[in-house]
Amino acid sequence: MQKTTEMTDPATGLRECPFCGGVAAFATVRYPKESEVARLNGQEVWHYISCVECGAGNRGLIGFKTTEAAITAWNTRKAADALRDEITRLRNALEWVQQTFGSMECDCGEWEHTDDYEDHADGCPEYIFGYIDRVLYPEK
């Protein structure tokens, strides 16, 4: 089973860049004391994370008040994490199907299987694997 992993730098706790897979680094921006950003927020130095390879970053308009907030925002990948979890769930299900039905032999007596589910739904592994192939690889 193929496994997709995303790297986290143990020294910094930062995940790799979501766009190029590059190394991420801490960064800061300093606003002058008299600027609106510093005056309204009571803070001159703001934090963000940036990819050292492609330049992607999470600075936004002014940055984050703390390094921890910048790290949390950088490391959050809701959609990608949800997709990765779904891929893992589907791969585990496919592995179960292969282990459960893979050793069975077709006893339906037909040499050519139709796409009619009713004719082959009762434990015909050739039909099951053919169906899985058609769903996973429709371009075949």
pTM: 0.58
Mean pLDDT calculated for residue range 96-107: 66
Note the pLDDT of residue 4. Answer: 43
Tokens, residue 92:
């585990």
pLDDT tens for each residue of 69-83: 999 999 998 888 888
pLDDT band at 3 (very low <50, low <70, confident <90, very high): very low
CA gap 23, 52 in Å, rounded? 6
Count Cβ atoms below 10 Å from residue 92 Cβ, excluding itself. Answer: 11
Tokens, residue 118:
């009713």
CA gap 69, 64 in Å, rounded? 6
SS (HEC) of 108-134: CCCCCCCCCHHHHCCCCHHHHHHHHHH
